[in-house]
Amino acid sequence: MQDNKIYDVAIIGAGPSGAIAASILKQLGRDVIVVEKQHFPRFSIGESLLPHAMQFIEQAGLLDALINNASDMGFQFKNGAAFYRSGEHSAFDFEDKFSPGPGTTFQVKRANFDKLLADETAKKGVAIHYGVQVEQVAITDEMAALTVVDESGQTSEINAKFILDASGFGRVLPKLLDLELPSELFPRQAVFTHIKDNIPADANFDRNKILVTVHPEIEDLWYWLIPFSDGTASFGVVARPECFAEAELEQQLYDFIKQDDNLASLLADAEIIQPARKIGGYSSNVKQMYGDRFALLGNAGEFLDPVFSSGVTIAMRSAALAAELVDKQLSGETVDWSQDYQVALKKGIEVFKHFVMSWYDTSLQNIIFFQSDGSDIKPMISSILAGYAWDTNNPFVADTNRGLNILTQLCEAD
């Protein structure tokens, strides 16, 4: 890889945020290189996209490729989110929302989705190198240098004017630059797999929506069921670590299904088709999301929780925002990374964080199941569930804590 070239931008990671940033920068005329530790396709969770993410996919020039390949890749049209708790049903239609912008999206198999975005980015002329791991970073007033190692063990150096870390849970720069902080969120664990769901066509189930189910007895334990268009689905359980047993992961998933009446009925004939996986300690935070000649994108900076599927949307928004700011800086413009990037991005992240914390203390659960279809409040909540957590015209974005507190009191008074 050693070519003694100085790139405008080096990006660590070829996942959604890396592909979006690289494509936008390439459209802006920037010379970009991407290094990715793994090889695509590779399995990943975060399969239920939010409509707001479609704006960044379109901005990066990747929307046509997504739409044209959705059917062949088993991606499922998505128009909302459904919730179930001990006999209570609630559903949110993302097309009936407060904020402007797309109201539909897809539920995607991330192995295919990530590869599609990366391949389309490469077609634009972006060099993507797979099987390459970043070992060191050195930043000076003039340059940023990445020391990388390929699978043959060969070490080389990549020089760039700016680095974007899109390494996701790998959190390359936070580890190398000592930026990691513990998350404010309680540590949880997820066990998940893909299934052939075999849900009957006449079942009370909308394949166009993710189904989030609250455990009938453990209020902060929940399930996701994300259907795909080919009859398969992503299924997972999220809970405190002590809620999981020592049994094999597949058996634990089957046992949890039996504990909820609705899932037990829907998934009576479900078959696990991939080895179950487990991930814990995924919530993260950092001291800062930018520095001299670098910025952190998406999960490399802060990851909250999978409950509202916010991860990919935050990653893509951060990628689009950072790409635009990098282009300005490289053009000689003054960029205030604190206000224009970190503060701007954190506004929406904090909204999602309030929703996550309120979900686990059950106050948001009560609000979700309280909202009727005729409620004036429901479109405002729907907007945030659709990813529009930066729309300050929405009262629940402008003052999330106050809004949720008022709704909690209304629910308790009912």
In a domain? residue 93: no
In a domain? residue 88: no
Which CATH number goes with the domain that contains 178? 3.50.50.60
In a domain? residue 1: no
| pLDDT 10s digits, 247-258 | 899 999 999 999
- Our CA angle for 301, 305, 307, nearest 5°, is 145
Domain of 214? 189-279
Answer yes or no: do 38 and 111 share one domain. yes
Q: Which of 233, 254, 279 is the last residue of a domain?
A: 279
| pLDDT 10s digits, 178-205 | 998 887 777 899 999 999 999 999 899 9
Q: Which of 347, 365, 388 is the last residue of a domain?
A: 347
Answer yes or no: do 406 and 320 share one domain. no
Q: Quickly count: other Cβ atoms within 10 Å of residue 248's Cβ.
A: 10
Q: DSSP characters for 320-366?
A: HHHHHHHHHHHTT----HIIIIIIHHHHHHHHHHHHHHHHHTTHHHH
| pLDDT 10s digits, 343-355 | 999 999 999 999 9
| pLDDT 10s digits, 87-136 | 999 999 999 999 999 999 999 999 999 999 999 999 999 999 999 999 99
Answer yes or no: do 365 and 398 share one domain. yes
Q: Which of 347, 371, 396 is the last residue of a domain?
A: 347
Answer yes or no: do 162 and 236 share one domain. no
Answer yes or no: do 229 and 368 share one domain. no
When divided into structural domains, the chain yields a total of: 3
* pTM assigned to the model: 0.95
Burial of residue 104 (CB within 10 Å: 0-12, 13-18, 19+) is: middle
3-state helix, strand, coil in the chain (%, to 5): 35, 25, 35
- For the record, the structure tokens of 178 come out as 């000592």
- For the record, the structure tokens of 195 come out as 């299934």
The per-residue pLDDT string of the chain (414 residues; one tens digit each, 9 = 90 and over) reads 666 799 999 999 999 999 999 999 999 999 999 999 999 999 998 999 999 999 999 999 999 999 999 999 999 999 999 999 999 999 999 999 999 999 999 999 999 999 999 999 999 999 999 999 999 999 998 899 999 999 999 999 999 999 999 999 899 999 999 998 887 777 899 999 999 999 999 899 999 999 999 999 999 999 999 999 999 999 999 999 999 988 899 999 999 999 999 999 999 999 999 999 998 876 778 899 999 999 999 988 878 888 899 999 999 999 999 999 999 999 999 999 999 999 999 999 999 999 999 999 999 999 999 877 777 889 999 999 999 999 999 999 999 888 888 888 777 766
Q: Are 24 and 18 in contact (CB under 8 A)?
A: no
Answer yes or no: do 41 and 110 share one domain. yes
Which CATH number goes with the domain that contains 203? 3.30.9.100
